[in-house]
Amino acid sequence: MTEPRAAIGFERRRQIQVRKAFEAGLGRAGKRLPDFERAEFYLACGDYLVWSLDRLHDQDQLIHDLLGERLPEREREALKALATLRRRQGESRALVGRFRAAVERLRREGRRGLKVFEAAAKRFTRQFRELMAPRRNPFEPHTDHLFDRADWLAIAWVDPSSQDTERTLFAAVSIYAPDGTDPEQFTAEHQSR
């Protein structure tokens, strides 16, 4: 079985690659595609991002809950950071909920819904970058000594089904990607604001 922290890192890197491909497709690269192909690419990216972000939220929620139970009261800064994480989690879940609705609307409306979807998607990517700006993980020193392998296995929640779903969704993005937007070509570093 894959090491759980490596599995989490892999999923998050692929999510960044898909988000960058999606953003490129929302730009000039996507405009060269016929409407039907552009809609298929957006749906593939949307499906991947929604699935992946739901997993990220579940993973981060479990990290939050375990830290909340295990951090000593003297770790005031870490406890304060947990409150910030809880707030950001709520904002991120709401953001993903709005994006999920936009993806489903595009699925129903097809190419007639492209302009509305593109506006919603640009808002989503901008707000997501602002919310998830790169920052050092403030909990790493704590998770390194408070969590064991069993905790990380529960957090990662990786099984053959999740791996198959990830591969299938990622492959769909690659299949529909316009020239210059193959997710494999993008680095997995966060873009700065």
Integer Cα distance of 173 and 185 in angstroms? 12
User: What Cα–Cα distance (Å) separates residue 88 from each residue in 20, 69, 83, 154, 180?
Assistant: 21, 19, 9, 22, 32
Beta-carbon neighbour count of residue 49 at 10 Å?
Answer: 25
What's the whole-number mean pLDDT along residues 71-79?
89
Which range, of 15-24, 47-56, 165-174, 181-190, averages the lowest pLDDT? 181-190
pLDDT of residue 99: 98
Q: Taking phi first (over 0 means left), then psi (-120 to 50 degrees means alpha), and beta for anything else, what does residue 190 get?
A: beta
Residues in the chain: 193
pLDDT at 1: 53
- What tens digit of pLDDT does each residue of 129-181 get? 888 765 566 788 899 889 999 999 999 999 999 999 999 999 999 999 998 89
As a whole number, the mean pLDDT across the chain is 90
How far apart CA 65 and CA 70 sit, in angstroms, is 9
| Closest by CA position to 88, among listed 119, 121, 53, 113 | 53
This prediction has a pTM of 0.91
What pLDDT score was predicted for residue 133?
A: 60
DSSP string, 78-144: HHHHHHHHHHHHHHHHHHHHHHHHHHHHHHHHGGGGHHHHHHHHHHHHHHHHHHT-----TTHHHHH
